[in-house]
Amino acid sequence: MDWKPDWGLRFRMFVTMFLLFVLYIVFASVITAYVGGGPSLFIVLFASFSLVQYYFSDTLTLKSMGAKTVSAEEYPQLHASVERLSQQADLPKPKVAVIDSQVPNAFATGRNQKNAAVAVTVGLMRTLNREELDGVIAHELAHVKNRDMMVMTIASFLSTIAFMMVRWGAIFGGGRGRGGRGGGGIAVAILVSLLVWIISYLLIRALSRYREYAADRGAAAITGNPSALASALMKISGEVDKVPDRDLREEAEMNAFFIIPLKSGVVGKLFSTHPPTEKRIEQLRSLEREMTTI
């Protein structure tokens, strides 16, 4: 496998995390000035809980998605594919899980390369042929290789901390606000909360969309077959369009984990965690042409 460092991805990760760090420093300073102290104990407790959640992220995510870890005896071909592709990606073999859902999709989770899991739905295995399924699995392994889960978890964690700080300060600290004088401090906290949430949301979504492009390129490097993943994306997209709205709403909250997001209206598309499928396929076709000319 000709795996080359994706410096574009690394640069965007660094810039996004740096901007988020600066944003939260400014946010904390404004909250301290206008709302006052008070949330320190809560932040410590919430941070401790989040660290535990992060440490067990693979188990918690699998359970929340209804994914069941399966053995090689239960799904021999799936295990064989994950093991072979993991070796090609120079990764430890992750846990293998299956979701009893007819919605064709897949995701990867885990805090690092040694503690990861790859899950696929029954619908995905039914929809794709072997090469296409390999492309999807390779895409998820590329996420593991790029440590995307860790970076996105940290970015989201900081956003949640900021949101909970505002809520705590507005509820319990507003009356003690030094600079805002009571109600004024609460109003400032609400305004700052909105601005922080919007900026964080846009930064994290931008990073998430780029990581999908990078994972697609990584899958092409692992399998040497970009057209298989392109074909898989087209099939998955077509099958998702047929899924009833009720089933989509039940799973829409986990969009960031999936290889193709479940549609959730105009706003959902505008702030999607994934780039348009058409653009991803276009990139894969371009990679295919590059490989054939070498």
Q: Cα separation of 47 and 262, whole Å?
A: 30
pLDDT digits (tens, 9 = 90+) for 128-172: 999 999 999 999 999 999 888 877 777 776 666 666 655 665 554
pLDDT at 249: 43
What does the pLDDT read at residue 181? 47
Q: Of 186, 283, 154, which is closest to residue 227 (Cα–Cα)? A: 283
CA nearest to 99, candidates 75, 83, 77: 75
**Amino acid 46: pLDDT:** 59
- With a CB cutoff of 8 Å and minimum separation 6, the contacts of 159 are 20, 196, 197, 200, 201, 204
For 88-138, write each residue's pLDDT tens digit: 999 999 999 999 998 899 999 988 899 999 999 999 999 999 999 999 999
Q: Do the bridges between strand 95-99 and strand 115-121 make them parallel or antiparallel, or are there none, so unpaired?
A: parallel
Is the whole-model pTM more than 0.85?
no
Average pLDDT per block of 10 residues along the chain, 294 residues long? 67 78 72 58 61 75 90 96 96 96 90 92 95 97 89 72 60 48 61 75 83 92 94 84 48 53 51 82 89 73
Cα–Cα distances in angstroms (integers) from residue 241 to residues 106, 147, 263, in the given order: 16, 30, 8
Name every residue whose Cβ is closer than 8 Å to that of residue 276 and which is 6 or more positions away in sequence: none
| Structural domains of the chain ordered from first start | 54-158+197-293 (3.30.2010.10)
231, containing H or E segment: helix 226-240
Tokens of 289: 């042409």
Catalytic residues: 140
Question: On the CB side of 215, how many CA atoms lie within 13 Å of its CA?
Answer: 30
Nearest CA-CA partner of 262 in 234, 290, 243, 289 = 243
